[in-house]
Every structure is written in C-alpha cells, then in structure tokens.
Amino acid sequence: MLEITFSESAYGYLRISKGFANREILCFPLVWSIGDISDSTPGQARRNVLRRLCTFDLDECREQIDRQMKEAAASYQTLLERAAEGEAVRVWYSRQPDELCGFYWLMAQLDGMPDCPVSAAKLPLYVETGKDELVAHNCWGEVSPEECLIPQEQAVSLNVRRSAARHWQELQEENAPLRAEINRRLVSVPEDFYDCFIRAELPRVGEAFLQGRLIGRVMSRSQMGLHDGLLSGRIDAMVQAGELEIIKAAPEDCPSHSRRILRKR
C-alpha cells in the first residue's frame, strides 16, 4: 500500500509513527490551494508558485523547493506506475486547504484506474485526550507521534473518486488565485479572500508592529492552516495599496520581511 501525504511535516509524522516505519510514503508538498493549477503535474508552474511563497532567503528557499519538486516528481511517477498495477493507495488529508485540495488532486490523478483501491485517513475535527479537554489540529502535520492518532480508515468509492476528479477539473478550468472550503465545498476564491482576517488583527497588534507578529496572530486565531507566504504577500499588497506603510525595513542581515515594522495608515 502507498501512503500519500501533502506536507513534509505529515510525511515525518507517519515516518516515525508506530507501524509506519517500513511503509512506502509518498509526499506531495505542492500547496495546491494557492496559485496556478492549470498543470496538475509537479513541474515548473508549481515550482514558480512555491517560489512566490518564499518569505526567507531566496537562494536557500530555491534549493529547498528544487529538492521538494525533484522528490515530488519521482513520487508522482511511482504513484502512476504502482496505481496502474492495482496497488492500494491510502490518502492522509484534512479540511486544511492544501490537504483538501491534495485529496481532490489525487482523485483526478487516479481517475481511470478503477483497479487501484483507494482509502482515506481523514483527520478528525478534535480528539478527546481523556483529561477533560479536547485537542484540535488543522492538518496532519500538526499531529505529534506521541498522540498515536490513527483515524478510522474509510474506503473511497468509485463514485466519490469520479466526482472529486470532475470537481478538480472544474477548479482547473476556473484557475482562480486561491481555493478554500466554503459551506463544506471546495471553491475558487479571489486573491484577497483572507484579507479580512488580517484586518481583524490590526487593532490588536498596536500602532506599530512587526509583520511577523501580525502573521502569527492571523495564523493562530484563524485556525485555518494558512500559509505564511500567502499572508506575507497579502500584506505586501496592502502596503502597495497604501493601507499599511513600512516605518522600518527588516535588518540587512535578515532576509525575511517578517522583521519589518509596519503601521496602519
């Protein structure tokens, strides 16, 4: 059986979890919820999207992305070859935008391979710890091996697979800047879709604030598993539009925009 994950952190979770050390795990950290999806293969178009999301040193980021893309391309060929031979596939996903898009993307790649059994390990909304509290995670990458969180596996029927594949093809045709779940449906949304979450935090960060602090608050309070590079790009757009202004640039030895000091105009 091939285990499919959509982030390196989720891959790492499975790799060191009990019972999975010797399993074949394929990782596709391709962030399908953001940017151009007209090409569904791990190629140059996706590489360009990932590079735009970089918030740190560009050279270091490029090396990491090139490695990820090389590994994803090899995993993609393995997936197609083994699935065509009828090997079972289990997909690990959640309602987080990248993992949810990953599920739809995967169903499109397996469309036309009815002899390949598919099952899903979907992250539960919360877990009862037995200590009078609940623990909630946005995505599989947030789960620690100590939690031993193995959800009930469910088979994905051919009808569900075909429906998901068609839906992904529709999203490809729309090719919007972003994709998000609204009312339990994955839909195309405009590039400023998450701006309201940024604006909601502005009164709470003070008159002058670190960009990284604002991003951290949005990610923490929204609990939507948003990408920091996406939020950084939207803050840049607000600066260009005159809604925010830079009052102190990031230090010269700091390649990350997160160290800039901003204020609302």
Whether 152 and 201 share a structural domain? no
Residue 98 lies in a domain: yes
Residue 29 lies in a domain: yes
Residue 190 lies in a domain: no
Whether 161 and 233 share a structural domain? no
User: Which pLDDT score, from 0 to 100, does residue 148 have?
Assistant: 59
Domains: count for the chain = 2
pLDDT at 120 over 70: yes
Residue 182 lies in a domain: no
Whether 124 and 41 share a structural domain? yes
pLDDT at 150 over 70: no
Whether 140 and 242 share a structural domain? no
* pLDDT over 70, % of the chain: 92
Q: Phi/psi zone of residue 251: left (φ > 0), alpha (ψ -120 to 50 degrees), beta?
A: beta
Task: Identify the three-state secondary structure at position 10.
Answer: helix
Whether 80 and 148 share a structural domain? yes
Of the chain, the end-to-end C-alpha distance in Å amounts to 55
pLDDT at 152 over 80: no
**Mean pLDDT score, 216-230:** 87
Whether 76 and 130 share a structural domain? yes
CB atoms within 10 A of CB 210: 17
User: Which pLDDT score, from 0 to 100, does residue 149 have?
Assistant: 64
Cα(264)–Cα(232) distance, integer angstroms:
15
Cα(164)–Cα(176) distance, integer angstroms:
18
pLDDT at 146 over 70: no
Whether 110 and 170 share a structural domain? yes
Residue 228 lies in a domain: yes
pLDDT at 115 over 80: yes
Q: Residue 27: which of 106, 132, 116, 108 has the closest Cα?
A: 106
Whether 168 and 208 share a structural domain? no
Does residue 246 contact residue 211 with C-beta atoms inside 8 Å? Answer: no
Question: If you average pLDDT over every residue of the chain, what do you get?
Answer: 89
pTM: 0.90
In order, the DSSP letters of 81-100 are HHHHTT--EEEEE-SSHHHH
Residue 115 lies in a domain: yes
Whether 160 and 222 share a structural domain? no
**Mean pLDDT score, 182-191:** 94
Residue 181 lies in a domain: no
Structural domain boundaries, residue 239: 195-264
Question: What pLDDT band is residue 116 in, cutting at 50, 70 and 90?
Answer: very high
Whether 45 and 149 share a structural domain? yes
Question: What pLDDT band is residue 130 in, cutting at 50, 70 and 90?
Answer: low
CB atoms within 10 A of CB 54: 18
Question: What pLDDT band is residue 112 in, cutting at 50, 70 and 90?
Answer: very high
Whether 143 and 218 share a structural domain? no
Helices 44-52 and 58-84 cross at an angle (nearest 10°) of 140
Whether 16 and 138 share a structural domain? yes
Higher pLDDT, 135 or 76: 76
Least confident of 30-39, 61-70, 238-247, 256-265: 256-265
Residue 13 lies in a domain: yes
pLDDT, tens digit (0-9, with 9 covering 90-100), for 37-93:
999 899 999 999 999 888 776 677 888 899 999 999 999 999 999 999 999 999 999
